[in-house]
Amino acid sequence: MVRIVVLDGCALNPGDLSWAELESLGECEIFDRTPAGKTVDRAAEAEVALTNKVGFDRPTLARLPKLRYIGVLATGHDIVDASAAAERGVVLTNVPSYSTRSVAQMVLAHLLNLALRVGHHAEAVRRGRWAASDDFCFWDGQLVELDGLVLGIIGHGRIGRATAEVARALGMRVLVHDPAAAAGADKTVEVVGLETLFRQSDVVSLHCPLTAETAGLVNAERLAWMKPTAWLINTSRGPLVDEAALAEALNAGRLAGAGLDVLSTEPPEENNPLISATNCYVTPHIAWATRAARQRLMDIAVENVRAFLAGRPQNVVGA
């Protein structure tokens, strides 16, 4: 019977889902978390390993001769050295598409919060500021209608397209920058250069993978291209943004606000400048984590293992 290990199952399944389908495929050992230095010990006898954030670099893979398969419980797979895995004949899979609607929903949540300052006003009411008001209504700062504003989307994959669909429903004009030619096939968006997108957008939303080319994509120079009334939303990868440069722009009033679900280091260090930056709203990497999305993730991850064991692997990275 095949031996399966799940190294950090808690994020996917904190207790509201079932591992039964995976357990039906072999001898299965599930760890909620695996601390640094324990990966080799826990995966030593496994032929199949599932991981979300527990990394497999070249030295780790060299110490796991029985390992035949790594299933990443996410879409991004940079935690595994794909080249080293391929050299050792280890099949590497990921789970695409499971969180598309949930992430687009988080973009909308941040967008509406920035436009209407929902969290700020709710907290003001809790502190008694409405009760102390002389008028029947009370607002603090400008409220913004989204109809007619421009949303710039960097990365026009599944989530970028879903976000564009939501934006159009709100009456927004959508600009897209994506090196992939496929972006031009969507006639409901305008494909533009990167500088044009930053300069013309009222909102810039990031939906691109983290690569050597996209790391630090949003830097001081590009932030300076943005309107001082504009907002930045990032539900993709934290290192796409130069965090010090973004905090400086927000604190200096050169950018109106930011909504971020990801940071460069997670959980963040206490001195991360964005935690206390002006009009910066940070959520703890939860865009993907609705129960519906996690159930899809579980279902696809189990099907990936089943397909591998049947000799017809699917969702293979680099295939």
Q: Where in the chain is the domain with CATH 3.40.50.720?
A: 3-98+291-309, 100-282
Q: What is the CATH number of domain 100-282?
A: 3.40.50.720
CB 257 within 8 Å of CB 281: yes
Does domain 3-98+291-309 fall under CATH 3.40.50.720? My reply is yes
Pairing of strands 69-72, 257-260: unpaired
Q: Is 285 a catalytic residue?
A: yes
Catalytic residue among 110, 222, 237, 296: 237
pLDDT recorded at residue 187: 76
pLDDT recorded at residue 36: 84
CB 93 within 8 Å of CB 69: yes
Catalytic residue among 165, 285, 303, 306: 285
Pairing of strands 69-72, 173-177: unpaired
CB 71 within 8 Å of CB 28: no
Q: What is the distance of C-alpha 69 from the center of its chain?
A: 24
Q: What is the distance of C-alpha 87 from the center of its chain?
A: 29
pLDDT recorded at residue 182: 55
For the chain, list residues with pLDDT below 70: 180-185, 319
Q: Is the four-CA dihedral 195, 201, 203, 208 of positive or negative sign?
A: negative
d(C-alpha 266, C-alpha 285), whole Å: 8
Residue 147: count other Cβ atoms within 10 Å of its Cβ.
8
Q: Is 110 a catalytic residue?
A: no
pLDDT recorded at residue 76: 85
Catalytic residue among 45, 87, 145, 266: 266
d(C-alpha 162, C-alpha 169), whole Å: 11
Q: Collapse the DSSP code of 152 into the 3-class scheme (helix H, G, I; strand E, B; otherwise coil) and give the result.
A: strand
Q: Is 243 a catalytic residue?
A: no
Q: Among candidates 277, 275, 228, 293, which has minimal Cα distance to 75?
A: 293
